Amino acid sequence: FVWKDGGIAFGVPACFLNIAAHGPKRDGWKYITTLTKEVTSGCKHLIHIRVPRGFLVTVQTENGKVEVEEFGETVLSCKYQVEKDPNPRVEWKKIRNRDVSFVYYEGKIVGGFQGRAVMEGASIRIKKAMLLDSGEYRCEVSARQDSRPLGEATVSLTVLVPPDVPSCGIPSSVLTGTVVELTCRDRQGTPPSLYRWYKNGVALPNTPAQDPLFANSSYTLNSSSGTLQFNTVSKGDAGQYQCEASNGVGEPQRCAAKFMQIDDMNVLGIVAAVVVVSLVVSMCGLGVVFAHRQGYFNTLHRRSFWIPQYEDIVQISNQNLKTVETNGSSEYCTAPQDYSQDFKHTQSFML
């Protein structure tokens, strides 16, 4: 096997060749990587290597995805290499929900990381990680004297939080033959929790037909959303139910167990209630019709009023009133009449 560069053989015959950054080549370039290429028998491999002149600003990280438990310690690594600028500028930025904020700027820690983060070279050591620290971080290195003045590396940080006691929705009493849904939700855990339901202390299988204890049950269990839905609940589904949330961080958490009672549907009671309500509505309707026919809704009947104890007065209406002037104002009074008896209120006086 012979290695050739531009048709000129070089190196000793071998099945692999190392190209390293040992110094300038005859074309004036420098190599910045090491290449190993195996050559198989009877085959020719043509390799093109294109390397720009000089060292570029290169920025890299040892771990692009970092996970740490809440209140734990971690490092966001950043390493760089420049061409000739002796004082490159290093900055750290945080990107979360398209919002960009500085973490390390002008040689010091800024923002919410003050007092709980330190610089180690170009890397950041976070001593007490918080849930709000989760997000994407970018290490930027600027070397103005280099031919390529800017380089960057990105690190994703996820702060893991154990689950809290989940909130469970378990009805105390349901009717047979109905659709019933039990809910379970943990709003704190990161990553999101997975859920498991228990009945009388025994874990419910995902497929009830495969377990003799739950072969007569018909339900659907969703471990991601935490719902337990009975398609048709029966008397055998009665019992104490409890939900457990876990996400691999910390200890699993359970809500308090609650008994769900299954009652038979009282069909006769429902029919009797419907009949009673129908009768009441019908009686009310008949009463309204009777009152209307008797004239209780007549406008003239409502506006008239009688004073039966006076024989001379049959009905008082607007025609019996006349207008008089009193101190420049108009008032209504009745026409003067001669009554032989004094006016007094009696029980028959009615407006």
Could you give the domains of the chain?
A: 1-54 (no CATH), 58-160 (2.60.40.10), 167-263 (2.60.40.10)
Task: For residues 161-168, give the mean pLDDT.
Answer: 96
- How many Å apart are CA 104 and CA 157, to the nearest integer? 16
Q: Which residue has the higher pLDDT, 223 or 21?
A: 223
Average pLDDT over residues 260-273: 76
Residues 11-61 have pLDDT tens digits of: 555 555 555 444 333 333 333 333 444 444 444 555 555 444 445 678 999
Poorest-confidence range of 117-126, 131-140, 178-187, 204-213? 204-213
Provide the pLDDT confidence category of residue 274 given band limits of 50, 70 and 90.
confident
Radius of gyration of the chain, Cα coordinates, nearest whole angstrom? 46
Per-residue model confidence (pLDDT) at position 85: 78
Query: Residue 313 has what pLDDT?
Result: 47
Give me the mean pLDDT over the 180-208 stretch: 94
At residue 246 the predicted structure's pLDDT band, cuts being 50, 70 and 90, is: very high
pLDDT-derived band of residue 155, with 50, 70 and 90 as boundaries?
A: very high
pTM for the structure as a whole: 0.57
pLDDT (0 to 100) of residue 279:
85
Is the pLDDT at 259 greater than 90? The verdict is yes
Mean pLDDT, the chain, whole residue set: 77
Average pLDDT over residues 172-186: 93
| Rounded mean pLDDT, 323-329 | 48
What's residue 296's pLDDT?
A: 72
pLDDT for residue 317 is more than 90 = no
Residue 163, pLDDT score: 95
pLDDT for position 94: 95
- In this prediction, residue 15 carries a pLDDT of 53
**Structure tokens given for 106:** 């002008």
Return the pLDDT at 326: 47
pLDDT given for residue 149 in this prediction: 76
